[in-house]
């Protein structure tokens, strides 16, 4: 689980989210309020869908994150077993799970986190 999170508020412009994803090389940005309550999530896929749908539109004002974010989220708690988290991601075909405790965002677990662990385990196994 990653606990050093990059997050945005729902009124931030979507251009900022795209730049943050690029600068930090991440695929998911949680959207939270001032009390760190999870409101939604912007994934690289939802951002791409939005950009493609708007490619010919002439916009006067920046689009807020709230217009693009996914609001219906599957979340886990810090004590959720790893295998359960993996199953949730596989069953729901999602790339991350926000981690919440007492209604507040405390971390995020991504497929990249599991890939890193799988790589270490495979490397260890191959050396045996």
Does a structural domain hold residue 26? Answer: yes
Q: What is the mean pLDDT of residues 7-15?
A: 94
Of the candidates 46, 53, 35, 102, the residue with the CA atom closest to the CA atom of residue 75: 102
Number of domains, the chain: 1
Does a structural domain hold residue 96? Answer: yes
Does a structural domain hold residue 49? Answer: yes
Of the candidates 12, 20, 11, 76, the residue with the CA atom closest to the CA atom of residue 43: 20
- What is the C-alpha R_g of the chain? 16
Q: State the pLDDT confidence band at 59, using cuts at 50, 70 and 90.
A: low
Does a structural domain hold residue 2? Answer: no
5 pLDDT above the threshold of 80: yes
CATH of the domain at 118: 3.10.580.10
Q: What is the mean pLDDT of residues 79-98?
A: 95
Q: What is the mean pLDDT of residues 4-11?
A: 95
SS3 45: helix
Question: Which residues fall within 8 angstroms of residue 110, CB to CB, at 6 or more apart?
Answer: 2, 27, 28, 95, 96, 97
Does a structural domain hold residue 94? Answer: yes
Does a structural domain hold residue 6? Answer: no
């Amino acid at each position: 689980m990653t606990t050093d999170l990059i997050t945005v508020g729902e009124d931030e412009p979507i251009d900022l989210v795209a730049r943050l994803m690029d600068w930090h090389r991440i695929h998911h940005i949680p959207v939270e309020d001032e009390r760190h309550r999870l409101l939604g999530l912007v994934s690289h896929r939802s951002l791409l869908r939005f950009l493609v749908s708007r490619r010919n539109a002439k916009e006067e004002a920046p689009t807020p994150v709230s217009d693009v974010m996914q609001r219906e989220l599957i979340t886990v708690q810090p004590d959720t077993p790893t295998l359960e988290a993996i199953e949730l991601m596989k069953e729901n075909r999602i790339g991350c799970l926000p981690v919440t405790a007492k209604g507040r965002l405390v971390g995020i677990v991504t497929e990249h986190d599991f890939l890193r662990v799988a790589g270490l385990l495979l490397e260890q196994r191959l050396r045996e």
